[in-house]
Amino acid sequence: MTTMARSETPFVSTLPGRYYYDQAIYDLEQERIFSQMWVCVGRADAIIGPGSYAVVTIGRESIIVVRGRDDVLRAFLNVCRHRGARLCNEASGRLKGSIQCHYHAWTYGLDGRLIGAPNVLSDEQFDRALYGLLPVALEVWEGLVWLNLADKPAPIADQLNETIVERFGDYAAFARYDVGNLKVGKTIVYDVQANWKLILENFMECYHCAPMHPEFCQLLPEFKTGIVSDYVNGEAARLAEHVEAFTITGKASRPPLPGLLPEDLRQYYGIVLQPNALLNLLHDHVVIHWLVPDGPARTRITCDWLFDPAVMAREDFDPMDAVEIFDIVNKQDWEVCQWTQLSMGSRAYKSGGVYVPVEQHIRAFADFVLERVG
Ligand code: FES
Ligand SMILES: [Fe+2]
């Protein structure tokens, strides 16, 4: 007697419930996924001007992302090299040209060099070069700041480009949206009581769209069928015939993004950039989510709505018709992820659930997690 191998059935199992609530598994994910890959931590244009900084957390590390006097963004572990005090304790702010520890007043330049240490800096036995802030690899990709805590980070293109090319057929089709030069018109932060993987998995399938997203399906009727496979094979979903734009009214209130071609109009692309960014491309705006896991059962999600800066400069610019519709979709998604989270510890989900054929591709994500975490 044999049990059916995974490849013989289109009904494949999800991860067992404990992968969504167990602190030990969460810690391993933080160490082997989030601390080994490029992780998105927000928009570069949120940190404007020398001394501006944001503090972000990846795994067990607190990291300062700061803009230098030379306008370059750098990242450092938020740890004083003297006796380890946390340097910056606010989520963001502006430093006056240096980073000073409150404990014994060691002072670092915005480039991380140790430039002040009371009574010891001039001691000839003290080698200040050994005590600069520890840098963290940082890249700005399409306007987004990505950090990598690995000892030897792979090039960021190795992590992101394959997904983009797989999704669009070639990079140029994505590049036409010029995401890096769009500007944020609205940001909403959501505190979601669900494991980060449930949020990604939910985004990867549209089996739930008909029951969960009636407003969304009005605009993008293909999603009503639940069998749109566009997340995996390069095809975009198209707006309904009577719909002009992806807005709460279905009416267009801004022109298409300037770099797009006629064939790009009236389409929707949703893309997951593992491990923690979601891109939604529309012809007149872009919506980006980035996730910060905060424990096994909680995720903070920042959602930015991006527009053409020329359109934003207009006096009558109002992002809300675009914001309202995706905010509705967001809340519907987070709610269903929270319902799912509630059951992860149940004996009914001890060995997991099942992905149906139109969700099958999510198993590759589960396998990616298993490969990393074991
Ligand atoms: S711990 Fe920072 S100066 Fe002493
Ligand atoms: Fe959804």
Ordered by where they begin, the domains of the chain are 38-148 (2.102.10.10), 157-373 (3.90.380.10)
Which of the ligands is closest to the CA of residue 87? 1
pLDDT of residue 348: 98
Residue type, 101: C
pLDDT of residue 302: 98
pLDDT of residue 235: 75
Which of the ligands is closest to the CA of residue 209? 2
Which of the ligands is closest to the CA of residue 330? 2
- Regions in the chain scoring below 70 on pLDDT: 1-7, 227-234
CA distances from 321 to 108, 110, 185, 251 (A): 45, 40, 12, 9
- Show the beta-strand stretches assigned E in 106-204: 107-109, 114-116, 135-141, 144-148, 183-192
CA of 337 to the centre of ligand 2 (A): 9
CA distances from 283 to 21, 41, 138, 346 (A): 38, 25, 29, 43
CA atoms within 13 A on the CB side of 21: 16
- Looking from the CA of residue 104, the nearest atom of ligand 1 is 3
Q: What is d(CA 141, CA 332) in angstroms, rounded to the nearest whole number? A: 29
DSSP letter assigned to residue 128:
G
Q: What is d(CA 9, CA 268) in angstroms, rounded to the nearest whole number? A: 31
Q: Give the contacts of 81 (CB within 8 A, at least 6 positions apart).
A: 106, 114, 131, 132, 133, 134
Residue type, 276: N
CA of 358 to the centre of ligand 2 (A): 14
Q: Which helix (H) or strand (E) holds 336?
A: helix 320-343
DSSP letter assigned to residue 245:
S
Q: What is d(CA 66, CA 13) in angstroms, rounded to the nearest whole number? A: 43
pLDDT of residue 4: 46
Residues with a CB atom less than 6 Å from ligand 1: 80, 82-85, 101, 103-106
pLDDT of residue 229: 52
pLDDT of residue 234: 58
Q: Give the contacts of 374 (CB within 8 A, at least 6 positions apart).
A: 28
Within 209-314, where are the H helices? Answer: 209-212, 214-219, 230-233, 309-312
- Looking from the CA of residue 105, the nearest atom of ligand 1 is 3
pLDDT of residue 23: 98
Closest by CA to 41, choosing from 288, 295, 338, is: 288
pLDDT of residue 236: 84
Cis omega before residue 275 (within 30°)?
yes
Contact assessment for residue 12 and residue 361, using Cβ atoms and an 8 Å cutoff:
no
CA of 268 to the centre of ligand 2 (A): 14
CA of 98 to the centre of ligand 1 (A): 14
pLDDT of residue 86: 98
The answer for 119, left when phi > 0, alpha when psi is -120 to 50, beta otherwise, is: left
Q: What is d(CA 302, CA 292) in angstroms, rounded to the nearest whole number? A: 8
Residue type, 44: A
Contact assessment for residue 218 and residue 247, using Cβ atoms and an 8 Å cutoff:
no
Angle of CA points 9, 15, 17, to nearest 5°: 130
Tell me which of 78, 81, 83, 100 to substitute to probe ligand 1's pocket, judged by most ligand atoms within 8 Å of the beta carbon: 83
Nearest CA to ligand 1 atom 4: 104
